[in-house]
Amino acid sequence: MYLTREEERMLQGEYGPAVEKAMRVLVKTCECMGGERLTRVTHAHVSGVSYLTIGEPGRTLIRELAEMGARARVFSTINPTGIDVEKWELMGIPRDFAEKQLDITRAFSKMGFTESMTCTPYFLRPPCEEESLAWGESSAVGMANSYYGAKTNREGGPMALMSAITGRTCFCGLHLTENRRPTVRIVLDDQVRARLGDPVIAGLLGYLVGVKVGSGVPYVDLGENPSFDSIKSYTAAAGASGSIAMSFIKGVTPGYKKAVREKLERIHVGWDEMRDLLSEQDYSSPDLLYVGCPHASLEEIIHVWRTLKESGEASFEVWVSTSRKIYSDAERMGLVEKLESLGALVIRDTCPIVTPAVRRFKHVVTTSWKAYFYLPRMHGIEVSVVENRNLGEVLCRKR
């Protein structure tokens, strides 16, 4: 494998033991995947930060790397943790868990990571077209490749951590132009197209594309000028039910025009199958309504507030999870206060998928198909998805 002189020196230990270790991991992994060289990255985003998912093994390694003197060599961010740093008691999280989580978060800070604690790092620093990244977190990877036209593979948490320490990743997969081509065309019927304006329906499409395509690069038409939230919802669901790291979205993904000319295998997604899945959703008696998977945008927060204002305080808990960045925007606009006066809890730094706080609930209603996929698997909770237009109906229903 070809290494630059600087990379050789990293491997020889001239940059300290942490860089040496991280470089060794990268080189060994890259060799096994058939990569011929490494590539520089400008932003590493590390998933697997919650104590709930990585436990003692993760805490141990992250702490030891920090103690070894590891530093983030490039701008680096972290995924949601298991707690809201300020509101964890309000969420019903045990102190012992919170302390262990804070220990992990502190280790990342010590290494120079930005305390982003979000699955939406693109709100903090939108990637440029053609920029090389090393991102974990499947939903963010989908946005980086499909919306921003940046280049990243779906990195595992520990691999992205090695990339943060070295500023490099393996030059393979979606970093190579020849792999950034659609492998399958998604064909929709008119009824689906007519409903894609609701991000929840775009998410449902992503969910079905993930199930049907599994892995690959689908070409998909989300309609004229799809909203940011629709694209976010689609890529998150496709990355959860399948391992889709990139889609070519008509009118959105840089280079989609060139991609469209290729002859491709076609996969149909019809309204009948969407309707079937939607009719299975039972949102009659939730004990938690949850919006913010991936972390809510400002528009999504405004939508919850408007709906809640009309329906009045809900008879069950309402949570909105978002990033610190969007939270501070919402706070400045008075939205956080308004939502909390209507009984909703706005949390940051975490989300129901990776926090133990969600385990006291039995039936969660959400607008996210990613959460629909993960909540039963992570916590054994029953989950139903509600379309945005029916959100008011859910909130109005009193127990």
Q: Which residues bind another protein (CB under 8 A)?
A: 21, 24-25, 28-29, 31-33, 47-48, 53-58, 60-61, 64, 136, 156-159, 162
CA 210 – CA 216 distance, rounded (Å): 9
Nearest approach, Cβ of residue 120 and another protein (Å) = 20
Separation of CA 184 from chain center:
23
Residue 328 neighbours by CB under 8 Å, 6+ apart: none
Query: How does strand 288-291 pair with strand 265-269?
Result: unpaired
Q: Which is nearer to another protein, 165 or 308 (CB)?
A: 165
Nearest approach, Cβ of residue 377 and another protein (Å) = 11
Nearest approach, Cβ of residue 125 and another protein (Å) = 23
Nearest approach, Cβ of residue 162 and another protein (Å) = 7
Q: Which is nearer to another protein, 158 or 218 (CB)?
A: 158
Residue 167 backbone zone (phi > 0: left; psi -120 to 50: alpha; other: beta): left
Q: Which is nearer to another protein, 47 or 132 (CB)?
A: 47
Q: Which is nearer to another protein, 68 or 260 (CB)?
A: 68
Q: Which is nearer to another protein, 31 or 393 (CB)?
A: 31
Q: Which is nearer to another protein, 29 or 183 (CB)?
A: 29
Contact present, 217 and 246 (Cβ < 8 Å) = yes
Give the DSSP letter of residue 315.
S
Q: Which of 107, 104, 150, 109 is nearest to 127 (CA)?
A: 150
Residue 19 neighbours by CB under 8 Å, 6+ apart: 10, 13, 70, 73, 165, 166
Nearest approach, Cβ of residue 278 and another protein (Å) = 30
Nearest approach, Cβ of residue 56 and another protein (Å) = 7
Contact present, 119 and 140 (Cβ < 8 Å) = yes
Nearest approach, Cβ of residue 9 and another protein (Å) = 18
Q: Which is nearer to another protein, 28 or 306 (CB)?
A: 28
Nearest approach, Cβ of residue 242 and another protein (Å) = 16
Q: How many CB atoms lie within 10 A of CB 267?
A: 16
Nearest approach, Cβ of residue 31 and another protein (Å) = 8
Number of helices and strands (H, E) in the chain?
17, 14
Q: Which is nearer to another protein, 56 or 190 (CB)?
A: 56
- Cα–Cα separations (whole angstroms), residue 36 to 32, 151, 369: 10, 17, 37
What residues pair up with 287 in beta bridges, in sequence order?
none
CA 173 – CA 325 distance, rounded (Å): 31
Residue type, 175: H
Q: How many CB atoms lie within 10 A of CB 343?
A: 14
In which element (H, E) is residue 241 found?
helix 228-241
